[in-house]
């Protein structure tokens, strides 16, 4: 198998789609590279457990073919509840309330993800944004 840390984004995407490797395997390869480079003191905060948990979650969502991921109240999200520093900053400092991620696909190939963080929202606004993005995706 090719060194997973040397793949381009397109090669990594294609490998995930073809099931040559999983998100968890890809993540573990990069975490090993981080460990090997620790002497460089290049990383402010390492969160390998979080990275592995997110990779497992991604594998599950990819397997289900999930296209739109909507977190209506980020404060209720597991990452925020567990004290994830990025999610905490997004909410506590940035004022984010809602996240909406949409997978960009072409012929069932994941090309990327667009994530929108909504700072001030009401349930109706959140639903409107989700519906609008669904319409945009349908037209692609």
State which residues form the domain around 76.
Answer: 67-140
Tens of pLDDT along 6-54? 887 778 777 877 888 888 888 888 889 888 888 888 776 777 887 787 7
Q: What single-letter DSSP state applies at residue 103? A: E
**Whether residue 43 is found in the same domain as residue 107:** no
**Whether residue 19 is found in the same domain as residue 37:** yes
Helix, strand, or coil (residue 47): coil
User: Domains in the chain: how many in total?
Assistant: 2
H-type alpha helices, the chain: 9-17, 23-36, 48-64, 78-81, 85-88, 123-139
**Whether residue 16 is found in the same domain as residue 83:** no
Tens of pLDDT along 66-99? 666 777 788 888 888 899 888 888 888 878 888 7
Show Cβ contacts of residue 48 under 8 Å, excluding neighbours closer than 6 positions: 31, 34
**Whether residue 10 is found in the same domain as residue 36:** yes
Tens of pLDDT along 99-132? 777 666 666 666 666 677 766 544 444 555 556 6
Structure tokens at 65: 């073919």
């Amino acid at each position: 198998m090719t060194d997973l840390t040397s793949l381009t984004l397109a090669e990594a995407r294609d490998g995930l789609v073809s099931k040559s490797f999983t998100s968890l395997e890809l993540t573990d390869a990069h975490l090993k590279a981080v460990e090997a480079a620790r002497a460089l003191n290049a990383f402010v905060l390492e969160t390998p457990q979080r990275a592995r948990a997110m990779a497992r979650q991604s594998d599950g969502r990819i397997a289900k073919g999930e296209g739109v991921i909507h977190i209506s109240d980020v404060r209720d999200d597991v990452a925020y509840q567990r004290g994830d520093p990025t999610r905490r900053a997004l909410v506590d400092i940035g004022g984010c309330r809602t996240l909406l991620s949409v997978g960009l696909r072409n012929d069932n190939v994941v090309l990327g993800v667009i994530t929108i963080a909504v700072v001030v929202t009401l349930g109706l606004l959140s639903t409107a944004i989700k519906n609008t993005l669904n319409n945009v995706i349908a037209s692609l």
